[in-house]
Structure 1
Amino acid sequence: MPRSRTPLSPERIVVAAVEVADRSGLAAVSMRNVGKALGVEAMSLYHHVRDKEALLDALVEWVFGGIDLPEPDEPWRPAMYRRAASARDRLAAHPWAIGLIESRSAPGPALLRHHDAVLGSLRRGGFSVADAAHAFSVIDAYVFGFVLTEVNLPFDSPAEVEEIAEGMMATMPEGDYPHLVELITSHALRPGYDHRAEFGFGLDLILDGLARLVEA
């Protein structure tokens, strides 16, 4: 095993753990595998990270540390859009993150700062405490759900969409599913269609509803 020449640090260990998770999935994140990625023995990591549980908590912090936060003087709607889009990008780039976030019970400073900034933006925008909680919940439910769909889609390009759609239609008895066929032929197969572009449309619908809520 080649030895690492750069001194170990908690930050280097977390970055290596991210690389292991991106390459092989969250189940592969162990002190041994992260040490191997760094070119050191696993025992060396314990001088900087207490144990695997602490490492997993640090991964959650790393995820939230890369999400754009609302600015104190930013109107709530563009702040929520920008934050949601940033969260979607971060989570889609690291598909293991959603399951990890939902499984942890020891929030760190980055997560707490993120949640406080989102709630603060909504409260400054006129939301009551209860409505701010509702808004935060529905936006993140949409973001998380969209990412889970996005990362599990069986296609990555318009050509693959066309191949899958045509295969689906070939199995449908003629006339049995007219609305589904209409959707595929006039929407999913149109030039330039990209399912990922649906994210902004859905997010705007949610923000429109929240705007009506706070205005009322």
Structure 2
Amino acid sequence: MADRDKAIPRTRLNRDRVLRAAIALADEVGIDSLSMRNLAQRLDVVPMALYKHVANKDELLDGMVDVLVAEIGPPDSGLDWKPAVRGRILAARRALQRHVWAARVIEARPAPTPAVRAYLDSMIGMFRAGGLSIDLTHHVMHALGSRVLGFTQELFDSSPSLDPQTQSAALQDMSSTYPHIVAIASRADHDEQSVVGPGCDDQFEFEFALDLLLDGFERLWRQGWSSTDPAHNAKAAAIER
């Protein structure tokens, strides 16, 4: 009886504990290997116990996304809109980099989760507080796309899986048909100690594109740009011709 009284009580199962355990498990085994069964094993409960807190696998994934988005944190209210937006997006990127599966899950959800909606609403509010019009902010959000959540689909794979000799031979075979792609893929104009390195550095490329976009947004804002401006429409018509 005395030994039983000294036993450490089992931590009570709740939704937050389920979601955080699921995130930890996905970090370890990958999102494709995450199941309700192995999550129950991780928590030392029967699988049915999980369904008191998440109705199904989809609700589990939605909840995991919301926990991750909460890791991003609030914007820095002491900064002007452009550095504040930049810092928030890079904070989002750091959060997603801690969980390499997260971007794919966010993309695959049929609709934004409540936390994602709140995050996007907050980002829009940052642009509006900086003085950008509803019209410009609308186009800004389209231009940023998934980058506003800290990830983007890359055109070039910066982590080649082939050994250097095989990769070189493959590029040689492609060179006559796709010379410009090969020129980009095989470039090595940076030394090993540079920020970018010999090839693509995902973080550098992400920040490079983000800064280009933010600088462009700021220029349009200072110009008082509007999509309904006749001058803008005339330029668009000239480009189409």
- TM-score > 0.5 by shorter chain: yes
Structure with higher Rg: it is 2
Does the CA-based 8 Å contact 2:127-2:137 persist in structure 1?
Answer: yes
Does the CA-based 8 Å contact 1:169-1:181 persist in structure 2?
Answer: no
Residue in 2 aligned with 1:172? 172
Distance 2:147 2:52 in 1: 40
* TM-score with structure 2 setting the length: 0.70
* TM-score with structure 1 setting the length: 0.77
2:204 corresponds to 1:202:
no
Residue in 2 aligned with 1:213? 220
What's the secondary structure of 2:59's corresponding residue?
helix
CA distance change for structure 1 residues 183 and 215 in 2, over 3 Å: closer, same or farther?
A: farther
Runs of 4 or more above 6 Å deviation = none
Superposed displacement of residue 58, structure 1:
0.4
Residue in 2 aligned with 1:78? 83
Distance 2:10 2:27 in 1: 24
Residue in 1 aligned with 2:188? 185
After superposition, give the CA deviation of every residue in 1:79-113 in whole Å (9 maximum; x if it has no partner): 110111112222233232223223232622x2232
Superposed displacement of residue 47, structure 1:
2.3
Greater share of helix: 1
Distance 1:208 1:139 in 2: 12
Aligned-residue CA RMSD in angstroms?
3.4
Give the aligned residue type for 2:113: P
Does the CA-based 8 Å contact 2:96-2:103 persist in structure 1?
Answer: yes
Instruction: In structure 2, list runs of 5 or more residues that go unmatched.
Output: 1-8, 224-241
Does the CA-based 8 Å contact 2:94-2:150 persist in structure 1?
Answer: no
Q: 1:48 aligns with which of 44, 53, 71?
A: 53
CA distance change for structure 1 residues 106 and 84 in 2, over 3 Å: closer, same or farther?
A: closer
Superposed displacement of residue 198, structure 1:
2.8
2:133 corresponds to 1:131:
no
After superposition, give the CA deviation of every residue in 1:128-185 in whole Å (9 maximum; x if it has no partner): 11221222232244467955449x63259xxx9xx74995379538x97599289723
Does the CA-based 8 Å contact 1:14-1:62 persist in structure 2?
Answer: yes
What's the secondary structure of 1:172's corresponding residue?
helix
Number of residue pairs the alignment of both structures matches: 205
